Amino acid sequence: MNSFSQDGPIIPFTVMCFEFSTLGRAEIQMRLNQQQGAATTVYCAAAPELEGLGGMYFNNCCRCLPSTEAQSEDTARALWALSERLIQEGLGSPSG
C-alpha cells in the first residue's frame, strides 16, 4: 500500500490562490471540473511510476515539495497532539 499527500478538492470547488506583494494581497480564483479535480487522485492511485513509493506530496499531478510549515517537526507534534485530543473528546474518553 502506498500513501501520498495531495491538495484534494471536493468537486465542484473554487481554488483560492493568494499572491503576496508590497501592494498587498491579490486573489485569483479558478474553477475546476470533476475530471480536473480528480486527476491527481487518479494519477497517484494508478501511475506505474509511483509503484512502491509513498510519503510524497502532489499537486496538479506533479510531485512538489511541501511547505516549510508542513515539514516542521514542531507542527507535526502539535498536530498529532491536537488529533489525539479531538479523537478522545469525540469518543468521550478522558485525556491523558
pLDDT at 61: 86
- Are 15 and 44 in a shared domain? yes
For 51: left if phi > 0, alpha if psi spans -120 to 50, otherwise beta; the answer is beta
User: By the 8 A CB rule, do 5 and 66 touch?
Assistant: yes
- Are 43 and 80 in a shared domain? no
User: pTM (2 decimals)?
Assistant: 0.53
Tell me which residues of the chain have a pLDDT lower than 70.
Answer: 1-32, 93-96
pLDDT at 58: 87
- Are 7 and 47 in a shared domain? yes
Q: Work out how many domains the chain is built from and give that number.
A: 2
- Are 50 and 80 in a shared domain? no
- Are 72 and 88 in a shared domain? yes
- Are 3 and 47 in a shared domain? yes
**Domain extent for 28:** 1-64
